[in-house]
Chain A
Amino acid sequence: MTDDDAHSARAAAERAARQSYGRLVAILSARTRDIAASEDALADAFARALESWPVDGVPRQPEAWLLQVARHRTLDAWRHSRVHDDAAQTLLLLADEVGDDAAGGGAVADERLRLLFVCAHPAIDAVARAPLMLQTVLGLDASRMAGAFLTAPATLGQRLVRAKARVRAAGIPFEYPRAIDLPQRLQDVLDGIYAAYGTGWDDVDGADSIERGLTAEAIELCRILCDLMPREPEPHGLLALMLFCESRAAARRSTAGAYVPLEAQDTARWNAALHKQAEQALQHASALHALGPYQIEAAIQSAHCARRLGAQVPADAMVALYDGLIALRPSTGARVSRACAVAEAEGPGAGLRALDSIAAKDVDNYQAYWAARAHLLGRNGQAAEARLAYARAAGLSASPAVRAWLAAASERL
């Protein structure tokens, strides 16, 4: 074995790990219903690959090779533990191997969709769903995700362990949801992906560092979902929404690192290619003729971008979009945004009345509400009250750049 061989074998194993991790976990778990054991078995298979590929050469079908090793590893573990002394399970696992052709050929089926539905199953703690998807499908570890989710690594690790135990103990089926359950189950998957994206959207001050939250991973997950469900509009709606946001990400900070709101962003710094992909994803979704909340959110983003690019977007059309969103999916965030749209259409007084209609307990802790309120109070000539609201918004912000911007806006009153 030369160094080159060893190097290319290692590269092949790493490539297989990156590209196939989720698919292999999905296939193994679909049989065993034990995600943690599948991950262990797969980790062993990757370790074996790093030992044997440099010596024996990279197999023609690396995925099938890894799968076979991992399956044997799972069977060994069962035999030793005698916990799963269940002949039927063993036969199932073996039946798969008979199905593979002897040379380890044949395409490895894509079971990731079922895995995604398992990870976002209602029986699993809602806060665990996004990290569980990212871990099982993309192979991210807890320490990588903890900062993005603003969770202690130990807490996140425990959540993942508990979630996997729950999948096994509750016998959550690795099945495609029934038609009647599909909308809600799909919504849960999409919410998980969007939660992962949100970790990076708030974390703009990390924009200079290579890793900005988990935005890239969330988009990758959504692209996988879109490929697996081309006829479902909402995954494409969510993809469009995230791509619109992503296309503007770089323009949210000046070159000096100061916060730049949408109205003041230099559109030349938007990413035109991502923007185009976003529009295409939204068109794809709307051509499927089934409106959903993520499509409306994407349409709102599309309208915001279009307005900045010079298109005339009637203010009451924006209000109507937010009304549609709230009708499909009420949230405090949507109601705050709607109030801002109302202010554009009917003036700051009407916007403030819309903000007043939101319950106080929902906004105690909600930074966007106080920033919106401060802005509208200022426009309405209530400078003293506006300053208090700016202070509250700054106190609730975790971003030095946003705090500086809010302080400057308060100063200008």
Chain B
Amino acid sequence: MQYMLMFYQPQSEFDQRDETAGQAYRASWMDYVGAIRQSGVALNGHGLHPPLTGTTLRVRGDKRQVQDGPFADSKEQLGGYFVIEVADLDAALEWAARAPCASTGGVEVRPVFTAPTM
């Protein structure tokens, strides 16, 4: 089964990416990314730039609305993702629990559509 692990992080974690004090934080992500890749379960994944660098587009009727910032204004924002291939949801949750943001923000685990028609 393929699952997407979506890493949701509070703004304080996005800030730590650039601060010197965030060195341990960055190292814990590097360790996690290293472990998930070395274990062979990761199909792909990326980290994302902070939510404020995002742009959101909506089309309503003939009108396009383009807005600076993330789609939803919430305390925790998507900071990155992995798509992994594992036996079942239990195994996916085990990897989710290891993500550094699990203890500060949260990880959403969703099955990936793998039907050939999609």
| Chain B residues within 8 Å of chain A by Cβ, number | 22
Asked whether any CB of chain B lies closer than 8 Å to the CB of A397, the reply is: yes
Q: Which of B24-32, B44-52, B58-66 contacts A (4 or more CB under 8 A)?
A: B24-32
Name A residues whose Cβ lies closer than 8 Å to a Cβ of B. Answer: 127, 150-152, 155, 205, 364-365, 391-392, 394-398, 400, 403-404, 407
- Docked pose: A400 CA to B28 CA in angstroms: 9
CB-based nearest A residue for B103: A400
- State whether A395 touches B31 (Cβ < 8 A): yes
Q: List 26 A-B contacts (CB under 8 A).
A: A127-B90, A150-B90, A150-B93, A150-B94, A151-B89, A151-B90, A152-B89, A155-B90, A365-B39, A391-B31, A391-B34, A391-B35, A392-B31, A392-B35, A394-B27, A394-B28, A395-B32, A395-B36, A397-B98, A398-B97, A400-B100, A403-B28, A403-B100, A404-B24, A407-B24, A407-B28
User: 6 nearest interchain CB pairs?
Assistant: A395-B35, A395-B31, A394-B31, A398-B97, A395-B32, A391-B31
CB <8 Å contact, B93 and A152: yes
Q: Give the distance in Å from the alpha carbon of A205 to the alpha carbon of B38 in the complex.
A: 26
A143: shortest Cβ distance to chain B, in Å? 15
B34→A407 contact, CB < 8 A: no
B33 contacts which chain A residues (CB < 8 A)?
395
When distances are taken between beta carbons in the complex, the residues of chain B under 8 Å from A392 are: 31, 34-35, 38
For residue B40, CB closer than 8 A to chain A, the reply is yes
Number of residue pairs across A and B with beta carbons under 8 Å?
A: 55
Q: Select the residue from B31, B32, B40, B94 with max chain A CB neighbours within 10 A.
A: B31
When distances are taken between beta carbons in the complex, the residues of chain A under 8 Å from B40 are 364
B31–A403 CB distance below 8 A: yes
> Are A150 and B97 neighbours in the complex by a CB distance under 8 Å?
yes
- In the bound complex, CA of A151 to CA of B89 (Å): 8
Please determine whether A395 and B98 come into contact, CB atoms closer than 8 angstroms: yes
Complex interface: chain B residues within 8 A of A394 (CB): 27-28, 31-32, 35
Neighbouring A residues of B93 by C-beta, 8 Å: 150-152
Residues of B within 8 A of A398 (CB): 94, 97-98, 102
Q: How far is the CB of A279 from chain B (nearest CB, A)?
A: 34
In the complex, are the beta carbons of B89 and A407 less than 8 A apart?
Answer: no
Give the chain B neighbours of A400 by CB distance below 8 A: 28, 100, 103
Q: In the assembled complex, how far is the CB of residue A160 from the closest CB belonging to chain B, in whole angstroms?
A: 15
Complex CA–CA separation, A404 to B30 (angstroms): 13
> How long is the Cα–Cα vector from A151 to B98 in the complex, in angstroms?
14
Q: Report B60 CB to chain A, min CB distance, Å.
A: 35
Closest to B33 in A: A395
